[in-house]
A and B are shown apart, each in its own frame.
Chain A
């Protein structure tokens, strides 16, 4: 089982390191040719969503990725990745992949001085460290989207079927439980497997 990591811009190497730690194979997606490879799961990293969205279009990858996600490809989007997934961006008519029934608000905590760290629950996972860097949060979820994390009254992680989105960065904290949850939920990884 191999995970593709969107590597157009942003903190994709940090996700690669987490998967290395978990001894899970991955490859980088930098252009349309990389989408021809076999891929069982997809990670959309943090970075700038305007840049990543533009490059997805310019490099001819947006429609293919959207179709793959709609037909069930498991995807984990963190921060900018969550913005790419959301159906609606608050106060903005832009729509990127638009596969996740939710309204997301960009730069919801303001500029860099508003960036912060917190701890909170992510579904069943307790006391997860969370880094919010010029982060978004979910203004509204609908259509069966499930809320996984709430910090300070704001929704910061959700799941809709094969799609998981967080407004924080699980790849920056050294705690790999969100990645494990993602990989194990979709059987990309066997839970508690016996190491030979």
Chain B
């Protein structure tokens, strides 16, 4: 990937800022999401909550299904590949996807290596639980980062903990002396150039969204107040009682995340939120902790 192409890919993520990216499984859901104000959609066959309950191996979606969604909407369309599955990524590039999510929501295809994302022209977003994971993914060519959270749970606690971890590590890196950055980069296992960027600028060199467990307008605003630049909502919308209304409410909550009066208005009468499961229940059920995939 040329430097210019990487720049253009980071810039597309900048255009998504302050927006909500929604998981959709059909062209009809994609249209509902677009009408509700999604700034992009994530095309996948099953939302994370269903992946979680179905178990088994979860893979890239059928390209035909993704193309159906591309044809249904005018906003950017993203899709997921398994961690390390560079051939799934080649297939998505061939159908001109706007963004690839190398995602822990699917079953990992490689338990050591992530995709060398510098070999692709299309942009990649990757999940991270902390600064080390984020900078390693950026070193591999990711042009956008999101928290991992715990997908498909409707429980925001993991996304909060990942965003806080990232912020506190960034503050730490900003505060160290210039000559200590090398050692810090070593301890995080990241390239020193990226550590120096964070040391100097106090932020990641790419856009950083929240993802994994966001289910309500308040959850979305919470992530924004914690420093997220936008929000992914997976199962939270189409596993809820009134998807269209909830989607529109979350979009407004992200725009006015600092305005409790507007947040109160948009939180009214949304019907049932996704029931969700919490992290202790996950351990009892099938013990899949998606966030631990791909470090």
User: Which residue numbers of A lie inside 8 Å of B, CB to CB?
Assistant: 7-14, 30-31, 46-48, 50-51, 54-55, 58-59, 79-80, 106-107, 110-113, 115-117, 131, 133-134, 169, 172
Residue picked from A46, A106, A107, A113, most chain B C-beta under 10 Å? A113
Within B210-250, the residues touching A (CB, 8 Å) are 248
Residue picked from A10, A30, A112, most chain B C-beta under 10 Å? A112
Given contacts A48-B39, A133-B8, A133-B11, contact A9 B18 (CB under 8 A): yes
A180 to B35, CA, bound (A): 36
CB nearest neighbor in B for A91: B74
Count A-B contacts at CB 8 Å.
Answer: 114
* B37 cross-chain contacts in A, Cβ below 8 A: 50-51, 54-55, 58
* B254 cross-chain contacts in A, Cβ below 8 A: 9
A115 to B262, CA, bound (A): 36
User: Which residue numbers of B lie inside 8 Å of A, CB to CB?
Assistant: 4, 7-9, 11-12, 14-19, 34-40, 70, 74-77, 93, 96-99, 121-123, 248, 251-252, 254-256, 259, 262
Q: Is there contact, CB below 8 Å, between A50 and B75?
A: yes
Q: Is there contact, CB below 8 Å, between A134 and B39?
A: no
Cβ of B224 to closest chain A Cβ, rounded Å: 12
* A13 cross-chain contacts in B, Cβ below 8 A: 17
Q: Which of B35, B99, B255 contacts A30 (CB 8 A)?
A: B255
Q: Is there contact, CB below 8 Å, between B18 and A47?
A: yes
Q: Is there contact, CB below 8 Å, between B259 and A48?
A: no
Q: Is there contact, CB below 8 Å, between A10 and B15?
A: yes
Q: Is there contact, CB below 8 Å, between A169 and B18?
A: no
- Known A50-B37, A54-B36, A113-B122; further 16 A-B contacts with Cβ < 8 A: A7-B18, A9-B18, A9-B19, A9-B254, A10-B18, A30-B259, A47-B39, A50-B34, A51-B75, A55-B252, A58-B252, A79-B15, A111-B98, A112-B98, A115-B9, A116-B8
* B70 cross-chain contacts in A, Cβ below 8 A: 111
A46 to B18, CA, bound (A): 11
CB nearest neighbor in B for A169: B11
Q: 7 A-B contacts, Cβ less than 8 Å apart?
A: A30-B256, A31-B262, A47-B17, A107-B74, A110-B96, A112-B123, A115-B12
